[in-house]
Amino acid sequence: MKYMLIMRATDEGAGSLEDMEFEEIMATMGRFNEEMIDAGVLVSAEGFEDAEHSVVVDYSAQPPVVTDGPYGETKELFGGFWVLDVASKEEAVEWAKRAPMAGPGLKTEIRRIASIDEFPQDNVWIQKERAWREATGQL
């Protein structure tokens, strides 16, 4: 089963990392990623650019409204994610508990990623996606 571990931070949590040197952050995250690679569970990992460079598309109106910067208050922004292929939610939780740079205002949300096999296979759109995934080596 695949799970996404989403790094989240409040303003306080993000602020607590501001004093860390970039090289220290990279080394800390690199060691954790290497552990997951060595265990054979890491599928992908990405970090996000600072939220001040983001764009938000709000579908509350027609046409949708586009604004610069993070939406609303920056109570809990996503900082990045890992995708793990593990045997259970419990295993995903155990990996999340070991994540570096933890502390007040920092969280990891864990969400299971539904497999394409869980959707109705007679649906034309699922069939097209399956064909695309097979053609691109994703299945």
- List, for residues 74-112, the tens digit of each pLDDT value: 666 788 999 999 999 999 999 999 998 777 888 899 999
pTM (two decimals):
0.82
**What structural domains and CATH numbers belong to the chain?**
2-135 (3.30.70.1060)
Dihedral sign from CA coordinates of 8, 96, 137, 126: negative
Q: Tokens at residue 97, please?
A: 């508990």
Side-chain-side CA neighbours of residue 85 (13 Å): 8
